Structure 1
Amino acid sequence: MTAVTGLRAELRADALGVGTAAPRLSWRLEQAPEPAEQAEARMVSADGSSSTVPLVAPDGVLVDWPFPELVSRQRVEVSVRALVAREWSDWSEPLAVEAALLEQGDWSEPLVVPSAAAVHELRPSHLLRAEFTLDEAPASARLYVTAQGVFTAALNGGPLSDEHLAPGWTSYTHRLRYRVHDVTAMLRAGANVIGAELADGWFRGRIGFDGGLWDVFGEHVGLLAQLEVTDAQGDTRVVPLGDAWRQIPGPATRVGLYEGESYDARLLPDGWLEPGFDPSAWRVPQLRPVVEIGTVLEAAVGEPVRPIESLRPVSVEKRPSGRLRLDFGQNISGVLRVKADLPAGRTLRMHHAEVLENDELGTRPLREAPSIDSYTSDGSGPFSWAPRFTIHGFRYAELEGWHGDLADVDVEALVIHTDMERRGWFACSDPMLEKLHENTVWSMRDNFVDLPTDCPQRDERMGWTGDIQVFAPAAEFLYGADGVLTSWLRDVAAEQGSDGWVPNFVPWVECGFPRGASAAWGDAATIVPWTMYQRRGDLSILREQWPSMKAWVDHLALRVGPGGVVEGSMELGDWLDPAAPPENPAAARTDKYLVASAYAVRSARIVADTAVLLGDLEAEAHYRAFAERVAEATRRRWFEDLASIADAPTALALGLEFGLVEDPDARRRLGDLLAAAVREGGHHVQTGFVGTPIICDALASSGHLDDAYALLLQQECPSWLYPVSMGATTIWERWDSMLPDGSINPGGMTSFNHYALGAVVDFLHRVVAGLAPSAPGYREITVQPRPGGGLTSASASHLSPFGMIAVSWELADGLLALDVEVPTGVSARVILPDGGVHTVGAGAHHYSAPMPAAQKEATR
């Protein structure tokens, strides 16, 4: 019988604290014959009243809220059922949906600001405490909480959550996110205590490279906590906490995101989170009216950052220095958790690094991020401790100050990142290609720490626009990144200049990098929301980002010179082309203004296509005309004399994949030149950030699939598999971040955990395994495996909005055996190697087809 499953509001299975009055509903149909004719939704209010309404929707994906709009704090339960083959399904399990504080005026509690500390140096944390009395245990209670800084919180001695670095990093001058916590079970009649520890974080701690900056968003830190309780009669009130707050310096004596956390357990007062504690020695903090925060308070749309898993050391070594070296076997973002027993006053220090060099921790690539945590014992007995206000990128760690064997200390690495839902998988018969894919998954995990960053380890960790622009298709396949990217794109829009200028990283920090926007970086403003729409089918992201998208292309128009192409602007170009010298990673084979002009065409076409979807035909005509003017000028400038770009694979690939060359004969010549250049380069990578994501597609689409596989499977440097051959467990920033002799690249910009060059995994999903979306949200897919490179099998699966899609193939004796699984609501166009085409709907489908002679040879 048909079942309605996976009901969500705004794609959230936990719909506590949604930040919209009309959250959209999504669900999946299982065991359903097609088509599903219609559906109904039922809403049950807190008072027990219910209403049932029909739903007019082609499927159960992001269906408009069919009930009256919610008001702040309103809680309802929603269920859905579907009419399929003239029979109603059972009602789905109910989903509790509760609105957050939807109006800025809903906030009444003050910002609690501890006494100011010294500027431009590592500062301690602050302990904040407020005791209050309740006449009775509440029927329900909510804590709305955020901070300028980063915080942990507790109620009556119990942790509020396992979030790390809450509330995360936004453009604090524009947006400050909060979360809603159900604390009903944590409160009791009589005395209660709320406590928090607060540290600098991104708000006023040191951030940025080249020494970084302090106090970027303010010279203070502050906690905003509004506790609301509802009694048995349904009356809700705010518990007044303002005058009850007290503060002292915390046990984290020195805290920095780059530097680490120094913690002295002797400074933590016993019983400070319990009623009856005497805070007479504590100071009264400053209370600032919420209106003075000066930014918009916004319910979080993304998942929290939290520990996701823990890793045990795969090896332990006692060093001559007395340190214990731990190898966790995987490069991660996270911290150590140590369980031990130390005498009072003994300090244990924890050093971190991604790699080893000359048998020592390779710390030079960390630049000015020492990444050292320390714990000083109070001697009270066994303890378990992990840093709360910092994060590191590391595979190796060394314990300094431990006297004894590891058997006497218990250490694990906590993997910390945004708690995204895994949605995509890939496997194949080549273990190294599988490892490349797994390394990319890890690099995404390690760099999706609240926002998409470039790296998790050195003094940087910025939201670089170019990295996520090229990686967005892979990200959307691998994980439910919608919340992270939606939140980040709001900051992109907030920080755009008045002329549409997009910073090269967001949030923007004036730490020495040129302010000028660069093509392929600023184009994240158009390409990331467009990719999200294509992969999730969510038109609202285009509607929300529409002003930002237009503004960026309007800015590009200002950069077009008399010749009709972009020229004269600051451009990063095909960043990290292997031919570029270490000291100038922008010095690529491909003209940076060709790159800029190509991206101007692509972004303008995206904006024109978006205008059609939004019904703005005037805008569509304007941006389409602009795109074609620049495309024509770009063809004249660079693609009429192909000899001038014959040695620039990125330029050739852009001409093919960005539609800059449309004439079939010209495209054939372009493809042949690209294949010749790749062969001339010995099938080594000759592209940087811009060319790397598209070159395999350009080769495959122009009839050179064998060269695409030869490039993909190359193991000598520079190549995708060279780092794999060197034992990498993540994607490197440079093709040669580690040299063949095991030494670290001498450049000052060397990371072992950047996901950008792993963008090629999108090719693995779509072309190697053969699973590609052909309509927004995977409503339609194209299944067309293209075996090669000696692979004998491959598979990909993706948890689409409609359910799991799976494709797998095996090759034996010249025959391709293909299995396809399609969920309800999706149609698949299956294209076989022998030219056979089949259009199918939901269900499991099996095919067998002979390989053409040319492809048989290529797969040997």
Structure 2
Amino acid sequence: MFKITDVRCEYKVNPIGLGIPHPRISWKLESDQRGARQLAYQIVVSADEPGNEVLWDSGKVMSDASIQIELDSMACESGKRYYYRVRAWNEQEESTDWSDMAYWEMGLLSPQEWKGEWIQAPGVIAGFGAEQCPMLRRSFRIEGKVKSARIYATALGLYELKLNGRKVGDSYFNPGWTSYQERLQYQTYDVTNLLQTGENVIGAFLGTGWYKGHLAWEGLHSIYGDQLALLLQMHIELENGEQLTIVSDGEWKAAGSPILMSEIYHGETYDARLEQPGWTEAGFHDQGGWHQVQILAHSKDILVAQESDPVRIVNELKPVELMKTPKGELVIDMGQNMVGWVRFEVEGEAGKEVMLQHAEVLDREGNFYIGNLRKAKQTVRYIMKGNGVEAYEPHFTFQGFRYVKLTGFDESKVRLEQFKGMVLHSDMERTGYFECSDPLINQLQHNIEWGLKGNFLDVPTDCPQRDERLGWTGDAQMFIRTAAYLHGTADFFTKWLRDLAVDQLDNGGVPFVIPNVLGKKGGEEFKDQHSSAAWGDAAVINPWTIYLVYGDKRLLSEQYDSMKAWVEYIRSQGENEFLWNTGFHFGDWLALDAKEDSYVGATDRDYIATAFYAYSVSLVLKAAEVLNKADDAVKYAELYRNVRKAFQDEFVTPSGRLAVGTQTAQVLALMFGLVEGPAKERATQKLIELLEESDYHLTTGFVGTPYLNFVLSDNGYNDIAYKLLFQQDYPSWLYQITKGATTIWEHWDGIKEDGTFWSDDMNSFNHYAYGAIGDWLYRVVAGIDLDETVPAYKRIVIKPQPGEGLHWADGRLESMYGMIRSAWHKLDDGKLRLDVTVPVNTTAEILLPAASSETQVTENGKPLGETEGIDKIEAAEQGIWITVGSGSYRFEMDQVK
């Protein structure tokens, strides 16, 4: 058996609305033989589903490539659907059957193809409130049967479409948040089944969103513009061949909607008495209160097709408890800190208002607590129309919460069944799984996953609840490798990195948040402070990580100039081009060794800046080599040597000590390879001494924490890394769990031992940065890693490092090539069992830990030397290294160290 599965175009199954002129094709292979590899492939593209009208044929290509194959010689046309199929040959020249026919469909590839105009509600509508969301509608007729129909749509602000009374698509918060001055996404919808012969009606709500609404904590709003507008184009093909086009133009009408206010931070107010039943259906008379729209002059040159995964309702949670707090407030507990909104039912007389307030935690007395929201109100108000049971959910706002305070409800009639928590985030495919023998570690893994869910809502935000929710670069680079294990993040970060590139400053500096809203329109706090070490380095770390995990060379090439610009920006700072010792830096943010009343840890900021300078230069060097930029490779190799030497001259004493004596200082020097020989040994020992002094507790902040356990495991102190992992008292990862956390906290002691809070000012209970420990769980505990020279897990490295406290651990990763698994189990007889799965068309280097001789190892009961699929066996200090081809293997070793 040798077959092709999971054929994809641009990471997606049958995508529509692509804006990429030369799409890439990927597939996976299955075989019942070990060591199966691809020898050759063929891709055929057709204009029809049967495959009769061939447009392009690769022929038989002798290559083992099965991912990211760009159709660079094929010209694609706007709006056209292309069908394709793939077959492959193995090394025995056996061919698979053709894959099932798949397709992709292009969007609109040039601004000139947009015939619609930007339309908005007129400036004066009687009774229209200043914050009220407008409704737009248009009626049109179709005489004939519809064969195919697409809507292409976007907005200044957010939009929600309805066609003949039904919601168009299943996504929310469109068109997403981008650097709107330069890039505005549009979405493509297949609406074939929503149209009918005769009269049809298309309608839209518009909301302020990130474009016009409040952003950040200084009361800023209308950062990108103060006019909401819709741009829409519908292409309809009838069975008789006739083509119709419906566009946003002066034929549309506008009215005020029941949405009186909808803000990302503050919630939504909805007056159901203002509903106009049937306004998006045929036969509705749009006379009273409806006015002709106005045309807005605005560029279409900024339009790009949807790049990231759309935001969808991904989970529904049922509340677990209805409670009365000591203050007498009625509160429901969702049982999980979540992001999204509450869908609820209510019954009452017309004009009666109910209110839902959202919070993450209760205070130590058990009362509803909103102090950490700062100015964000997170409040939903619903005014009833008085027509029996009424169902409602918000449109253009989201909340970060576990607890919901109910006001205005008839307490005698409230039932938990009335409420559902609708969990929303960018709908990235789940790819990684980790579980182990310890329930607290499994809860930590759960919290990491839900931290991602709560903060990957179109942009990688720092937190989802208070008046912030911004795309902080530091948080994003610290967590990206963990995120790329849990979910398919290539599209998500592709979109965000393109915004980073356009928001990058002329001098190469990188703003603190992307899209960049700090420092604009009166944001005085960061007006002259644009770039910080470990934050701006996202410009380099993130594209390199996406390349490593997904083999995305195109994105690396796209971002290469941005990567270079960042390191050249650093190079231009101060008098010494090889040290970064000037400017503002966040330092080891929120480290526990900070001075009192300071957010910045004790590690010298110039030290951190120069360490990250060296790291980023090393990655730009690697990128130059991958992209065959020989001159740049020479240039950045020399720069790296000079920065590394300058670091050593500045921060390593003649006796080989690091001049900065914090945990984070030792960690960065070791992780980034900035010390060697005696200096490396002294840094390692100093780190161990510091951990011993703190009774094996960390003091690291945002900068040091992601690397701490890696450094320990890589330098022979895996036992101490495990000891840190298992600590349950403050400060530790598990301390939060003992306090009931269901997501990762911003502060190690967001809730203190006595139940009080760290602060009101900055105390998020859903902040994924410290969830970067997940990277170590997957790559060290489970042991799933890759060879950087062969990206995307083409050459897998399986190197589990079992430790004290765990009896078993199981990691799985759905890679571009297929499922990888590494699962180890300490057996009762003292043996260690290791189960490994290697996808077809890949190889794996596997460390069999603790085995001193191949005679001590069996695979499925057979001696290791007789095992099919093993290419090489080599003894090493840590155990035995073997090289294997694809297949599933079960190893057992005689002893466990």
TM-score, length-scaled by structure 2: 0.92
Decide which moves more: 762-771 or 511-520: 511-520
Aligned with residue 826 of structure 2, among 785, 805, 811: 811
Give 1:232's aligned residue.
239
Distance in 1 of aligned mates of 2:599 and 2:328: 40
Amino acid of the residue matched to residue 836 of structure 1? Answer: I
Cα shift readout 1:37-78 (whole Å, capped 9, x = no counterpart): 211122220495125432534231111227622111111111
Distance in 1 of aligned mates of 2:3 and 2:191: 33
Structure 2 residue runs without a partner (length 5+): 852-878
Question: How many residues were matched structurally?
Answer: 846
Give 1:45's aligned residue.
47
Amino acid of the residue matched to residue 376 of structure 2? Answer: A
Alignment of 1:129-144 (within 5 A): 129-144=137-152
Could you tell me whether the CA contact under 8 Å between 1:713 and 1:789 is conserved in 2?
no
Give 1:787's aligned residue.
802
* Residue 565 (str. 1) matches residue 572 (str. 2): no
Distance in 1 of aligned mates of 2:168 and 2:809: 44
Could you tell me whether the CA contact under 8 Å between 2:262 and 2:269 is conserved in 1?
yes
SS in 1 for 2:643: helix
Could you tell me whether the CA contact under 8 Å between 2:604 and 2:660 is conserved in 1?
no
Taking every aligned residue pair, what percent have the same amino acid on both sides? 37
* Residue 259 (str. 1) matches residue 274 (str. 2): no
Give 1:413's aligned residue.
421
* Residue 297 (str. 1) matches residue 291 (str. 2): no
Using the TM superposition, give the Cα deviation of residue 838 of structure 1 relative to its aligned residue in structure 2, in angstroms: 1.2
Aligned with residue 633 of structure 1, among 639, 646, 656: 646
Distance in 1 of aligned mates of 2:254 and 2:568: 50
Could you tell me whether the CA contact under 8 Å between 1:810 and 1:816 is conserved in 2?
yes
* Residue 162 (str. 1) matches residue 170 (str. 2): yes
SS in 1 for 2:778: helix
Could you tell me whether the CA contact under 8 Å between 1:340 and 1:408 is conserved in 2?
no
Give 1:754's aligned residue.
767
Structure 1 residue runs without a partner (length 5+): 856-860
Distance in 2 of aligned mates of 1:370 and 1:617: 54
Cα shift readout 1:131-159 (whole Å, capped 9, x = no counterpart): 11122232111100111111111101111
Cα shift readout 1:476-532 (whole Å, capped 9, x = no counterpart): 111011111100000000001111010010111133442320000000000000011
C-alpha distance 522-507 of structure 1, shift in aligned 2 (>3 A): same
Distance in 2 of aligned mates of 1:487 and 1:53: 29
SS in 2 for 1:703: coil
Using the TM superposition, give the Cα deviation of residue 584 of structure 1 relative to its aligned residue in structure 2, in angstroms: 2.0
Give 1:243's aligned residue.
250
Decide which moves more: 722-731 or 339-348: 339-348
Give 2:107's aligned residue.
100
SS in 2 for 1:293: coil
Could you tell me whether the CA contact under 8 Å between 1:132 and 1:241 is conserved in 2?
no
Amino acid of the residue matched to residue 685 of structure 1? Answer: L
Using the TM superposition, give the Cα deviation of residue 339 of structure 1 relative to its aligned residue in structure 2, in angstroms: 1.8
SS in 1 for 2:731: coil
Cα shift readout 1:419-459 (whole Å, capped 9, x = no counterpart): 11000011111111111111011001110000100000000
Using the TM superposition, give the Cα deviation of residue 233 of structure 1 relative to its aligned residue in structure 2, in angstroms: 5.0
Give 2:592's aligned residue.
578
Amino acid of the residue matched to residue 885 of structure 2? Answer: G
Distance in 1 of aligned mates of 2:435 and 2:124: 53
Could you tell me whether the CA contact under 8 Å between 1:53 and 1:66 is conserved in 2?
no
Aligned with residue 552 of structure 2, among 534, 538, 549: 538
Give 1:732's aligned residue.
745
Amino acid of the residue matched to residue 266 of structure 1? Answer: R
Distance in 1 of aligned mates of 2:593 and 2:530: 24
Could you tell me whether the CA contact under 8 Å between 2:250 and 2:293 is conserved in 1?
no
Decide which moves more: 326-335 or 53-62: 53-62
Using the TM superposition, give the Cα deviation of residue 723 of structure 1 relative to its aligned residue in structure 2, in angstroms: 0.3
Distance in 2 of aligned mates of 1:117 and 1:762: 54
Cα shift readout 1:255-278 (whole Å, capped 9, x = no counterpart): 211110000011111221112222
Could you tell me whether the CA contact under 8 Å between 2:262 and 2:268 is conserved in 1?
yes
Using the TM superposition, give the Cα deviation of residue 739 of structure 1 relative to its aligned residue in structure 2, in angstroms: 0.8
Alignment of 1:273-292 (within 5 A): 273-281=280-288, 282-289=290-297, 292=298
Cα shift readout 1:564-603 (whole Å, capped 9, x = no counterpart): 41112111111110122564212x1211111100111111
Aligned with residue 227 of structure 2, among 220, 240, 244: 220
Give 1:343's aligned residue.
349
Amino acid of the residue matched to residue 892 of structure 2? Answer: S
Distance in 2 of aligned mates of 1:117 and 1:799: 54
Using the TM superposition, give the Cα deviation of residue 243 of structure 1 relative to its aligned residue in structure 2, in angstroms: 2.5
Distance in 1 of aligned mates of 2:748 and 2:73: 54
Cα shift readout 1:203-243 (whole Å, capped 9, x = no counterpart): 1111111x331110001111111111123354544224413
Amino acid of the residue matched to residue 430 of structure 1? Answer: D
Give 1:481's aligned residue.
489
* Residue 6 (str. 1) matches residue 12 (str. 2): no
Decide which moves more: 665-674 or 508-517: 508-517
Aligned with residue 820 of structure 1, among 811, 836, 839: 836
Could you tell me whether the CA contact under 8 Å between 1:455 and 1:754 is conserved in 2?
yes
Alignment of 1:176-187 (within 5 A): 176-187=184-195
Could you tell me whether the CA contact under 8 Å between 1:304 and 1:418 is conserved in 2?
yes
C-alpha distance 637-3 of structure 1, shift in aligned 2 (>3 A): same
Decide which moves more: 232-241 or 476-485: 232-241
Decide which moves more: 457-466 or 824-833: 824-833
Give 2:870's aligned residue.
none
Give 2:871's aligned residue.
none
Amino acid of the residue matched to residue 283 of structure 1? Answer: H
Using the TM superposition, give the Cα deviation of residue 631 of structure 1 relative to its aligned residue in structure 2, in angstroms: 0.8
Amino acid of the residue matched to residue 502 of structure 1? Answer: V
Give 1:145's aligned residue.
153
TM-score, length-scaled by structure 1: 0.96
Give 1:364's aligned residue.
371
* Residue 308 (str. 1) matches residue 314 (str. 2): yes
Could you tell me whether the CA contact under 8 Å between 2:658 and 2:679 is conserved in 1?
no
Give 2:65's aligned residue.
59
C-alpha distance 731-192 of structure 1, shift in aligned 2 (>3 A): same
Give 1:79's aligned residue.
85
Aligned with residue 691 of structure 1, among 669, 693, 704: 704
Alignment of 1:343-742 (within 5 A): 343-357=349-363, 358-403=365-410, 404-407=412-415, 410-509=418-517, 510=519, 511-514=523-526, 515-562=529-576, 564-581=578-595, 583-586=597-600, 588-640=601-653, 643=657, 645=659, 647-663=661-677, 665-742=678-755
SS in 2 for 1:76: strand
* Residue 208 (str. 1) matches residue 216 (str. 2): yes
Cα shift readout 1:762-784 (whole Å, capped 9, x = no counterpart): 10111111111123100111111
Decide which moves more: 222-231 or 506-515: 506-515
Could you tell me whether the CA contact under 8 Å between 1:157 and 1:274 is conserved in 2?
yes
Distance in 1 of aligned mates of 2:573 and 2:845: 42
Give 2:892's aligned residue.
848
Could you tell me whether the CA contact under 8 Å between 2:835 and 2:889 is conserved in 1?
yes
Decide which moves more: 636-645 or 366-375: 636-645
Using the TM superposition, give the Cα deviation of residue 789 of structure 1 relative to its aligned residue in structure 2, in angstroms: 2.7
**RMSD of aligned residue pairs (Cα, Å):** 1.8
Distance in 2 of aligned mates of 1:246 and 1:623: 59
Give 1:17's aligned residue.
17
Give 2:869's aligned residue.
none
* Residue 334 (str. 1) matches residue 340 (str. 2): yes
C-alpha distance 629-148 of structure 1, shift in aligned 2 (>3 A): same
Amino acid of the residue matched to residue 13 of structure 1? Answer: V
Using the TM superposition, give the Cα deviation of residue 14 of structure 1 relative to its aligned residue in structure 2, in angstroms: 3.3
Alignment of 1:188-207 (within 5 A): 188-207=196-215
SS in 2 for 1:805: strand
Distance in 1 of aligned mates of 2:150 and 2:564: 40
Distance in 2 of aligned mates of 1:341 and 1:307: 25
SS in 1 for 2:576: coil
Give 1:858's aligned residue.
none
SS in 1 for 2:833: strand
Amino acid of the residue matched to residue 825 of structure 1? Answer: N
Could you tell me whether the CA contact under 8 Å between 1:733 and 1:757 is conserved in 2?
yes
